[in-house]
Structure 1
Amino acid sequence: MDRYKKLASNTFIFAIGTFSSKLLVFLMLPLYTRVLSSSEYGKLDLIVQTCNILIPIVSAGILNAVIRFGLDNSTNKKSVFSIGLMINLLGVIGLIVFMPLLKRIDFISEYIMYVYLFILMSSLHSLCSNFTRSQEYIRLYALDGVLRTALTIALNIIFLVVFKYGIAGYLLATIISDLISAIMLFTVAKLYNYVSLNYIDKTTFKNMLKYSIPLIPTTISIWIISMSDRYILSYILGSGANGLYAIAYKVPTIITIVAGIFMDAWQISAIDEYQKGDKGWFFSRVLNVYSSLLFCGASVIVAFTKLITRLLASPEFYITWSYIPVLVMATLFASLATFLASIYMMHKKSEYVFTTTTISAIINIILNLHLIPKYGIQGATIATLISYICMFMIRAINTRKFMTVSWNIPKIILNIFIIMIQTIIILLEIDNWFVYEIILVSVIALINAKDLLMGARRIIK
């Protein structure tokens, strides 16, 4: 299959699974904001994000290595999955030792058993899901997304609306859906055929750990960028402020989801082209189309921020619209930086992902400590934006060591400038602001039309 058609086909299939597993759950936001108060939602957000940072630590980052080495034609697949499963299980068992420490954290203590089960089931599901994707069982991966979504939505309605379990109900719904999905993948993909201690070789074991261990602090740094502002907000302004910020962050998640769908498919194509000896031209062409999609998407979301917030959130949370435009810009730069990180992944240079992410995390913490006391929630959004801009610029320069990327710099600057103007217009609520927003969205569409049409033409051909 032609490389462009393969990328487009995989993206479409991943979209089915990811759209259902992430976007439809995202659309459950009206339910969450109606059954949980801003304080409860803020507390739930801290619990889930704490679990998300513990998962890569517990698994020694091996979940990322399972994808990279599973896609590598030179590695034994049984060895890759068996190593991943062994490290994952040992890490989860080892977590028991630290449970008393976690129980001392106020917002976790009441839900300690749910936290442990959340980490266990999420890590096992991620292992099965990542290995399934690395073996290019794309349709099964998409089916898993649909199944997991249906389960999550149904269980959320049962536990939150019918039984009114609150925070515990949300966590329980996620735990059960992860468990059932993991069992389905393990059975249908016959992953039990890949489990064997006899196939664990020392070379693959060392190489996988060498690749995955630098990604642990990388994940922590990413978590710091997205979460340090929430902890500082909670400490200075209370969990209610964090609840508002967490809701505001949900809208830019639309961009993250779309970018994530593409990145799932891109990982397969990028490594495939790297193994064939691609020197960067295919990467550059895909980057131009990818960035054009991001700019168009960001422009539309900024323009319709108020409408989206009114539709998705209860009146109590409507004020969050004013934080969304800056977070949209932050997510835009984060998505571009993530795409550049695929260059490090291709060359198995995960240490550079760690370095660039850590620098951005440090910048984020410093800015949060200075801006949140002065500007409140908006200070957190500005800190996040600046930290992601720094990450993108550092990677854009640093990745030249490994691959020459052709950037259309004037187009990128113009796109960013227009979206900045959109952000200023809507935040200041200038007279006839919506008319100006629609005009600027149209301008963004015209600027990026050529790259989008060329991308579509390559796929059709």
Structure 2
Amino acid sequence: MENYRKLIKNIGLLSISSFGSKILVFLLVPLYTNILSTYEYGSYDLVITSINLLMPILTINISSSVLRFALEKNINRNDVFSVGLKITIKGFIGLLLIIIINWILNIIPALNDYCIYFMLMYLVSALYQLCSYYARGINEIKVVAFAGIIQTILLVLFNIIFLIFFKLGISGFFIANILSLLLAIFFYCVCLKLYRINLFNVQNKNIRDEMKNYSRPLVLNSISWWVNNTSGRYIVTWICGVAANGVYSIAYKIPTILNTLQSIFLQAWEISAVQEYDPNDKNNFYGNIYHTYNICNVLVCSLVIIFTKVIAHFMFLKDFYDAWKYVPFLLIAYVFGAMAGLIGGIFSAVKDTKMYSYSTIAGALLNIILNIILVKSIGVIGAAVATLISYFVVWCIRILNVKKYINLRIRIINDLCSYLILLLQSIAMIKFTSARLYIVEFFLFALLIFIYRNEIKKLVEIVISNINRFTRKRE
């Protein structure tokens, strides 16, 4: 039971950090839209998008390698951080060259307007990610949680100071982000005593090559996920126009809720997958986690599909309301993405990042092909269907290949039946209206409950047992 408690504890700590930051940043949106012009906010979004694309390329995703190797008990963790920092700095030098080239050729004018902020935002973002991954690798999850909370509170405070009191506009916006990340990095340095690490005294001379070999395939993985998530929008714009893409893009707002929950779990899972790795899975830890996680994703997805129109009524106003049609298919895609991510944690445990990446690349290539074919054939909804199919293929490839490393006991027939029911729910949302729709939807949801009735009963019993145990301790 100790392995389950560790996982739940890490999920709890990471939830405090992630949810707090997302809620506070969400509350700042009215402030940004009131003070910044559309050009200014668009320029900021361009800078952040560029950083998110460039960072895994220029740093060869070394932060992921730092997390994985820091979890190893027989490796000097100082060496791990030292290698990560050196490669991060080299990546920053690469960014400087890109900025100079862009300045000379004026390829992206908006980046030239804010090149200093672009440079500083990249640096603090890369260092913050490095420190965060290292802290997770040495099992300092509390430090990660507190650093996230501190960074968010400082971001809110600095935004108020620089945007409202000093009225610095987009400059104040950038300064607030840079300072909040910089002080959070300082917090990591103090708590983890990073200032004591000698960057020039690496004991294991082979560690650098091992870490680079691990992280290099993840660069393609990051780019491929980026393609999976965004290629549909470009193709919809190309074939159907900018307005159609505006409606399609807004449809992602609801699945993003699921994605937030999934990302928190997968951060905690990546640690447990390494620490508890057992190729035979004698205690069925991996199997139980996979099964429970799948059931939770399927049931939440099913409920959100049922209430998609209701949620859209409040979230998607005026011409954006039609976006609800694409939401169910994107929700199912995110379920497959979640399950593929969980299996990815196992590939990380055995350091097979090549299979991790090949599956994502296959999905990305298929996504592009299907998007072109389906969007031309059936319109915007084809992009959502293409995304669903590509995520399904990524999951299939990983579920077939993970058997090489672990005896993962899953109930594949039940799972495939549940995925089929989710697909039927999505089709029903489009085909039926009024009372008939909800009769069909709740009938299909009841079928899911029936399929997983024994598992749900066990989960409820475990939750009640833990609540009773906690209550007795409090007394």
Which TM-score band applies after superposition, normalised by the shorter structure? 0.7 to 0.9
Please name the residue that 2:231 is paired with.
228
Is the CA contact 1:283–1:405 (under 8 Å) kept in the aligned structure 2?
yes
Q: In 2, distance between residues paired with 1:159 and 1:453?
A: 53
Pick aligned residue for 1:301 from 301, 304, 329: 304
Q: What do the CA deviations read for 1:177-222 (whole angstroms, capped 9, x no partner)?
A: 3223222222233222234321353211111111011111111111
Query: Quick one: which amino acid aligns to residue 444 of structure 1?
Result: L
Q: In 2, distance between residues paired with 1:441 and 1:35?
A: 45
Q: In 2, distance between residues paired with 1:423 and 1:66?
A: 41
Give the 3 Å change call, closer, same or farther, for CA 4–41 of structure 1 in structure 2.
Answer: same
Please name the residue that 2:9 is paired with.
9
Give the 3 Å change call, closer, same or farther, for CA 327–30 of structure 1 in structure 2.
Answer: farther
Pick aligned residue for 1:393 from 396, 411, 418: 396
Is the CA contact 2:280–2:407 (under 8 Å) kept in the aligned structure 1?
no
Q: In 1, distance between residues paired with 2:438 and 2:81?
A: 52
Give the 3 Å change call, closer, same or farther, for CA 309–5 of structure 1 in structure 2.
Answer: same
Q: In 1, distance between residues paired with 2:176 and 2:441?
A: 39
Is the CA contact 1:133–1:141 (under 8 Å) kept in the aligned structure 2?
yes
Query: Quick one: which amino acid aligns to residue 197 of structure 1?
Result: F
Query: Quick one: which amino acid aligns to residue 458 of structure 2?
Result: M
Residues matched between the structures, number: 461
Give the 3 Å change call, closer, same or farther, for CA 37–360 of structure 1 in structure 2.
Answer: farther
Which moved further from structure 2: 257-266 or 108-117? 108-117
Is the CA contact 1:38–1:244 (under 8 Å) kept in the aligned structure 2?
no
Give the 3 Å change call, closer, same or farther, for CA 331–27 of structure 1 in structure 2.
Answer: farther
**Cα deviation, residue 356, structure 1:** 1.0
Q: In 2, distance between residues paired with 1:244 and 1:43?
A: 21
**Cα deviation, residue 268, structure 1:** 1.8
Q: In 2, distance between residues paired with 1:328 and 1:30?
A: 27
Map residues 373-384 of structure 1 onto 2, 5 A cutoff. 373-384=376-387
Which moved further from structure 2: 97-106 or 323-332? 97-106
Is the CA contact 1:122–1:178 (under 8 Å) kept in the aligned structure 2?
yes
Map residues 206-285 of structure 1 onto 2, 5 A cutoff. 206-237=209-240, 239-274=242-277, 278=281, 281-285=284-288
Give the 3 Å change call, closer, same or farther, for CA 150–308 of structure 1 in structure 2.
Answer: farther
Is the CA contact 1:42–1:246 (under 8 Å) kept in the aligned structure 2?
no
Identity %: 35
**Cα deviation, residue 315, structure 1:** 4.3
Give the 3 Å change call, closer, same or farther, for CA 378–435 of structure 1 in structure 2.
Answer: same
Is the CA contact 2:128–2:185 (under 8 Å) kept in the aligned structure 1?
yes
Q: In 2, distance between residues paired with 1:28 and 1:93?
A: 33
Is the CA contact 2:280–2:406 (under 8 Å) kept in the aligned structure 1?
no
Query: Quick one: which amino acid aligns to residue 4 of structure 2?
Result: Y
Q: What do the CA deviations read for 1:65-105 (whole angstroms, capped 9, x no partner)?
A: 01100111111011111111111011112211112455513
Within the alignment, does 1:334 sit opposite 2:334 as a pair? Answer: no
Give the 3 Å change call, closer, same or farther, for CA 404–120 of structure 1 in structure 2.
Answer: same
Please name the residue that 1:286 is paired with.
289
Give the 3 Å change call, closer, same or farther, for CA 398–457 of structure 1 in structure 2.
Answer: same
Within the alignment, does 1:146 sit opposite 2:159 as a pair? Answer: no
Give the 3 Å change call, closer, same or farther, for CA 236–342 of structure 1 in structure 2.
Answer: same
Q: In 2, distance between residues paired with 1:200 and 1:139?
A: 29
Query: Quick one: which amino acid aligns to residue 123 of structure 2?
Result: L
Is the CA contact 1:299–1:441 (under 8 Å) kept in the aligned structure 2?
yes
Map residues 23-422 of structure 1 onto 2, 5 A cutoff. 25=25, 47-102=47-102, 103-105=106-108, 108-153=111-156, 173-199=176-202, 201-237=204-240, 239-274=242-277, 278=281, 281-312=284-315, 315=318, 317-422=320-425
Q: In 2, distance between residues paired with 1:45 and 1:263?
A: 26
Is the CA contact 2:278–2:406 (under 8 Å) kept in the aligned structure 1?
no
Is the CA contact 1:144–1:185 (under 8 Å) kept in the aligned structure 2?
yes
Please name the residue that 2:455 is paired with.
451
Which moved further from structure 2: 9-18 or 307-316? 307-316
Please name the residue that 2:430 is paired with.
427
Q: What do the CA deviations read for 1:146-205 (whole angstroms, capped 9, x no partner)?
A: 223334455567778888988777655544432232222222332222343213532111
Find the residue that maps to 1:213 and give its secondary structure: helix
Q: What do the CA deviations read for 1:324-350 (whole angstroms, capped 9, x no partner)?
A: 211111111111111111121111111
Is the CA contact 2:162–2:172 (under 8 Å) kept in the aligned structure 1?
yes
Q: CA RMSD in A?
A: 3.3
Q: In 2, distance between residues paired with 1:314 and 1:34?
A: 19
Give the 3 Å change call, closer, same or farther, for CA 355–270 of structure 1 in structure 2.
Answer: same
Higher-Rg structure is 2
Give the 3 Å change call, closer, same or farther, for CA 387–253 of structure 1 in structure 2.
Answer: same
Find the residue that maps to 1:285 and give its secondary structure: helix
Which moved further from structure 2: 80-89 or 228-237? 228-237
Which moved further from structure 2: 110-119 or 124-133? 110-119
Find the residue that maps to 2:302 and give its secondary structure: helix
Q: What do the CA deviations read for 1:112-149 (whole angstroms, capped 9, x no partner)?
A: 44433332221111011111111111122112222233
Q: In 2, distance between residues paired with 1:38 and 1:372?
A: 29
Q: In 2, distance between residues paired with 1:258 and 1:238?
A: 32
Which moved further from structure 2: 130-139 or 48-57? 48-57
Q: In 1, distance between residues paired with 2:300 and 2:432?
A: 21
Give the 3 Å change call, closer, same or farther, for CA 231–68 of structure 1 in structure 2.
Answer: same
Q: In 2, distance between residues paired with 1:436 and 1:158?
A: 53
Is the CA contact 1:296–1:448 (under 8 Å) kept in the aligned structure 2?
no
Query: Quick one: which amino acid aligns to residue 351 of structure 1?
Result: K
Give the 3 Å change call, closer, same or farther, for CA 242–202 of structure 1 in structure 2.
Answer: farther
Give the 3 Å change call, closer, same or farther, for CA 365–100 of structure 1 in structure 2.
Answer: farther
Query: Quick one: which amino acid aligns to residue 76 of structure 1?
Result: N
Q: What do the CA deviations read for 1:380-409 (whole angstroms, capped 9, x no partner)?
A: 222211111110111111111111212212
Q: In 1, distance between residues paired with 2:172 and 2:422?
A: 39
Q: What runs of 5+ residues in structure 2 fail to find an aligned partner? A: 470-475
Which moved further from structure 2: 292-301 or 65-74? 292-301
Higher RCO (CA < 8 A, seq sep 6+): 1
Is the CA contact 1:42–1:242 (under 8 Å) kept in the aligned structure 2?
no
